[in-house]
Amino acid sequence: FSQETTVVVFVLGGPGSGKGTQCPKIVEHFGFTHLCAGDLLQAEIESESENGTMIHNFKKEGKIVPSEITVKLLQQAMQQSDNKRFIIDGFPRNEENRAAFENIVKIKPEFVLFFDCPEVELTRRILNRNQGRVDDNIETIGKRLKVYFESTLPVINYYNSKGKVQKIDAQRSVDEVFEDVKSVFAKFKP
Ligand code: UP5
């Protein structure tokens, strides 16, 4: 893919903020390809690749998988796609992720879509989800939230200082949130 013509939007927000719910809608309305870093890592766990067990243990502890692994998976997925527009969901989660993506893939995001949601609502949604995720239990949720506040919020603040953050109030209904998402993506309307 060409660094000049490829558009990347990062989608960030706490665990349960609605990234995975809103991204398919962006795909449907604006023709982006959705790359979910967490899903790419989960596929590695399920393929029983050499890193699978290690990734599983990081996820179970709510820890951030080493950047080289995640960035390689994202880069491969971008190379395999014919699309030039990508929404990357749940990444970069820390400064190391951010720097690794910029150094290896050499693309800066067009903007960062930030789903802002209070902690109590995040916890409520994740505990309600009940889909058998290894990290959807009260102990791991506490760890995921701590990692989010300590490591991911600084990345959001970094992009905010560059004027690149589009913040959305994610506490409302799925449809209300998507109305705001639509205005942010309006310039990409086909
Ligand atoms: N829901 C959604 N929107 C709602 C709304 N507006 N009102 C009411 N309910 C709403 O939503 C969560 C739940 O809330 C669902 O039941 C949904 O119906 C409901 P979802 O859309 O799934 O939220 P999302 O933000 O996608 O939550 P998720 O838990 O998937 O986010 P995480 O960021 O925790 O998960 P991810 O898969 O990205 O990462 C998991 C782990 O992988 C990390 O902890 C980490 O260990 C590892 N990881 C890395 O190491 N590096 C990476 O780059 C990425 C992941």
Establish if 65 belongs to a structural domain. Answer: yes
Q: Would the CB of 61 count as within 6 Å of ligand 1? A: no
Q: What's the CATH number where 125 sits?
A: 3.40.50.300
* Ligand 1 and 85: CB distance under 6 A: no
In a domain, 23, yes or no: yes
CA 19 – ligand 1 centroid, Å: 6
User: How much of the chain exceeds pLDDT 90, in percent?
Assistant: 96
On average, the pLDDT of the chain sits at: 97
* Residue 100 scores a pLDDT above 90: yes
Cα–Cα distance for residue pair 99/95, rounded to 1 Å: 6
Spell out the residues 6+ positions from residue 97 whose beta carbon is closer than 8 angstroms to its own. Answer: 64, 67, 70, 71, 91, 155
Domain extent for 54: 7-181
Tell me, yes or no, if the pTM score tops 0.90: yes
Flag whether pLDDT at 3 surpasses 90: no
| pLDDT at site 138 | 95
Q: What is the mean pLDDT of residues 38-50?
A: 95
2 lies in some domain: no
Residue 101 lies inside a defined structural domain of this protein: yes
- The domain total for the chain is 1
Q: Could you report the per-residue pLDDT of 75-99, keeping only the tens digit for each?
A: 999 999 999 999 999 999 999 999 9
Residue 170 domain-assigned (yes or no): yes
Identify the burial level of 9 via C-beta atoms within 10 angstroms of its C-beta, where 0-12 means exposed, 13-18 middle and 19 or more buried: buried
Output the known binding site for CMP: 97
Four-CA torsion 116, 138, 46, 101, nearest 10 degrees: 30
pLDDT in tens, 135-190: 999 999 999 999 999 999 999 999 999 999 999 999 999 999 999 999 999 999 98
Q: What is the pLDDT of residue 153?
A: 98
Q: Is the CB–ligand 1 distance for residue 70 below 6 Å? A: yes
Ligand 1 center from residue 12 Cα (angstroms) = 10
Q: Whose CA is nearest to atom 42 of ligand 1?
A: 38
pLDDT number for residue 32? 98
In a domain, 99, yes or no: yes
Predicted local distance difference test score (pLDDT) of residue 56: 97
